[in-house]
Amino acid sequence: MNQITSSFQELLNTWAHGGAMPEQVIEVSHPHFCEKLGVDPEQFSFLAYAQVGDPNEWNQSGIEFPEVLEGTMYMYIPSRWKMELKQSNLAQVMEGEKVRLTMILTSRDEWRMTLPEFFNVGEVSAYAYYPVQSPHYDKWIACIDRDKRMWIYTFYRAGDWILITKGDAGGRNTLVLHVSTAVHSSPWYSWMSVEQAT
């Protein structure tokens, strides 16, 4: 297990079990991950991918899980990707016949029980934590190297709920798209807006 993997697992496990939440943004990356992205490790930051893309190529796409939770969640995805609800708490983002992203809405308690399995998925090449609107809204991004592919996991939390996304990036172009989606998306935004207005 590399040092990035062990530090990520320790921080995420503490956070998942109600321990102290990081107060600042955390970004950690291995040169190998930056090489796959085609960027200088000294210059890399996830937040560099938070820039708004061409409106003809990107959009905020909505999805609802009406049997689980009221409200619409929005993901910032390429326009050619389309979201489809597959089960009451599971959606997929498709590009034609290809699954680009899988989304699962679950409780924090249920998600916590899956962590041991998740920690065995592969080596973490990069990760980030953002306290979006502490203490109720925050997110983790984990980029996991497995089978010569990069898997991008994102955990968007709102109170006792977690929206999990998992994307498979086989090449550099797809990896850039997945990192941009993970960084730029804020699926709980409409909930945060309502809270701010009241």
- Rounded CA Rg of the chain: 16
CA distance 51 to 63: 22
Q: Which residues of 77-97 are buried (b: 16+ CB within 10 A; e: fewer)?
A: bbeebebeeeeebbbbbeeee
Domain ranges of the chain: 3-170+185-192
Q: Does an H or E element contain 127, and which?
A: strand 123-133
Residue 139 in tokens: 């997110």
Residue identified by tokens 């498979």 is: 168
pTM: 0.92
What CATH architecture applies to the domain 3-170+185-192?
3-Layer(aba) Sandwich (3.40)
State whether residue 143 is helix, strand or coil: strand
pLDDT by 10s per residue, the chain, length 198: 589 999 999 999 999 987 677 889 999 999 999 999 999 999 999 999 887 778 889 999 999 999 998 889 999 999 999 999 999 999 999 999 999 999 999 999 999 999 999 999 999 999 999 988 777 788 999 999 987 789 999 999 988 899 999 998 888 999 999 999 999 998 987 665 554 444
